[in-house]
Structure 1
Amino acid sequence: MKVGLLDSRAARLHGYWAAYLKELGVEVVMPSLPDAEALVLGQNTLPGEALPVQLALGRILALDGVDAVILPQWAPVQGDAWSEALGELLSRRISGLPTMIPVPDSSEGLESAAAEVGLRVSQNAGRVRLALERARIQAAGPKAELPALSVASRVTVGVIGPRTLLAEDVLAGPLRTSVSALGLHGVYSPDLPLTEVLKRAERMEKAESAPAGELELFGAASLLSGKGAVRGLIFAVPARDGATGAALERLAARQHKPTLLLTVDAGAQPGIWPELEAFRDRITLGAARQGQDA
């Protein structure tokens, strides 16, 4: 059986699923196109959808002759049907796609889901048990530490947004380049340790019933806004993603530090955001004044 695995930097457990499928003895297929070309393919197929959806679709279309595709689940925000049922919605919109298998992208429920996937693709219970044991070391995902919050001669900003945007170089690369080119030190929410983010998210009103994506966004904003080195927060919204835009707008309105809501689209070139330069001037002036007062 040939199983497709999307080469997504936003997936926390990509290494786990790659190792597990290899131990199962199934043939693993990766997208045959570079990310930039896969994104264009997705844009041409679903031009009106959100940027991360287009990238995911392009990668799926770039899988050659697979029987099924492993789809790590996205952390949803309120009102976002795509993050709750990506594979199901894509199959409804595009005929002829391979079978989509949604899987967890965190340790919660991971092994039971992996066992079901293993039996589905290998039909060999003994091999599944052995593969689970051997892949278990990868189940925690890559270890994350709090990034450096200060860099000499630069003002620090927190950049908050969904992993499906900010962790993907093909989508967020121009933003990262622009932030750096303006002399700012950006600390990006996907780079924060998830345990610390979720601990902060416990402070969110009605946290027990909040969608996972909003918990992550709230926790990241709370963590970074509480750091004295962080002078302002940039909230990055994927183009055509109204649900995430609304969630980030609500979150930005709660902040006490300067904020900027920025829409990120494909094909953006560094330096195209004049509001980013104005934001830099605003927080840099504030930092300079604080230094004079001290």
Structure 2
Amino acid sequence: MKVGLLNSGAARLGAYWAAFLRELEVEVVPGAITDAEALEIGGQSLPGESPVVQLALGRILALGRVDVVLVPQWPAVSGDAWNEAFTDLLPRRISGLPTLIPVPDTGEQVEAVATEVGLRLTRNAGLVRRALERARILLNRNKGEMPALNRASQVTVAVIGPRALLGEDVLSSGLRQALEGLGLHAVYGPDLPLAETLQRAERLENAAKLPAGERELFGSASLLAGKSAVKGLIFALPLHDGATRAALTRIAGRLHKPTLLLNVAGGQTDFPELAAFRDQVTLGVAAAEGDA
């Protein structure tokens, strides 16, 4: 059996799943094209969908003739059909795809799912137990630390958005370079320790009833908005992603610092709205310093 692993720079547990498959001794097929090429291929097949979906599709198609592909599950927001059921929805849109198996990228169910996947791929319980034991060390390596909130002579802004967008260089590098070029120190929500983000999200009314993606986005926004160093928040969302736009709009409405909602397309490098936002937060800092 030939197995593909959807390679994603945004995945927290990509190294774990790669090690687990290696220990299962199955044939793992790597993608043969660049992320930019995968984004272009996915965009040609699903031109009206978000770049996150297009990139994932392009990577799957790049695997060629495989029997199974393991696909990281991204936390969904309200009304988010793609992230709620990506591996079910994509084969309905694109025919001829290999079997897609969703695997968790965080949480307590990782090893339970890994056991099911391992048995499905090998039908060898002893081999699966060994693979679980050897890969386990990689489950606890991504707790993370708080990123630096200050940089000399620069105003700090938070950038809040889905990990599947901000964690992919091919999707977010243009935004990162634009912020650097404007002299802003950007702190990205997905870089925060997940435990602290989720703990902060518990402050939200009815938090337990909200989808995991919405809790994570709110937690990161609330945590950074509460830091005095952060002067404004940019809410980045993939182009054509109405569910994420609605979720980020709701979250922005709860905050009391300057906010900007920003569409991000694949390969985009020009963000004209950022200059005005830079001026807004910079003038706010200057006014506060003048009053002091």
Q: Does the aligned pair in 2 maintain the 1:151–1:185 contact within 8 Å? A: yes
CA distance in 1, matches of 2:283, 2:72: 42
CA contact (8 A) 1:107 1:139 kept: no
Q: In 2, are the aligned partners of 1:156 and 1:186 still within 8 Å (CA)?
A: yes
2:5 touches 2:30 (CA, 8 Å); kept in 1? yes
**Distance between the aligned counterparts of 1:87 and 1:180, measured in 2?**
36
Measured in 2, the distance between the counterparts of 1:40 and 1:104 equals 26
Counting only pairs closer than 5 Å after superposition, residues 237-256 of structure 1 correspond to structure 2 as 237-256=237-256
Unaligned runs of 5+ in 1: none
**What percent of counterpart residues are identical?**
64
CA-to-aligned-CA distance 1:22-52 (integer Å, 9 cap, x gap): 0000111222110000000000000011110
Match of 2:287 in 1: 289
Instruction: Encode CA deviations 1:120-175: one digit per residue, 9 max, x unaligned.
Output: 11111100001101111111242311000000010000000000100000001000
CA change 1:71–1:141 in 2 (3 A) is: farther
Q: Does 1:30 align with 2:30?
A: yes
What TM-score, normalized to structure 2? 0.98
Shift of residue 8 of structure 1? 0.2
Q: 1:56-110: per-residue Cα shift (whole Å, max 9, x none)? A: 0000000022110001111000001100111111111111100001111113211
Q: TM-score, length-normalised on structure 1?
A: 0.98
Q: RMSD of the alignment, in Å?
A: 0.8
Amino acid at match of 1:292: G
Segments of 5+ residues of structure 2 without an aligned counterpart are none
Look up the SS of the partner of 1:147 in the other structure. Answer: coil
Give the equivalent residue in structure 2 for 1:277: 275
Q: How many residues are aligned here?
A: 292
CA distance in 2, matches of 1:141, 1:128: 21
Moved over 3 A (4+): none
CA distance in 2, matches of 1:16, 1:29: 16
Q: Residue in 2 aligned with 1:106?
A: 106
* Structure 1 segment 58-207 matched on structure 2, within 5 A: 58-207=58-207
Per the alignment, residue 9 of structure 1 pairs with: 9
Note the C-alpha offset of 1:113. 0.5
- Paired residue secondary structure (1:251): helix
Find the aligned partners of 1:189 and 1:57 in 2 and give their Cα distance.
25
Residue 227 of structure 1 is matched in structure 2 by 227
Contact 1:13 1:141 in 2 (8 A): no
Instruction: Return the alpha-carbon distance in structure 1 between the equivalents of residues 101 and 235 of structure 2.
Output: 31
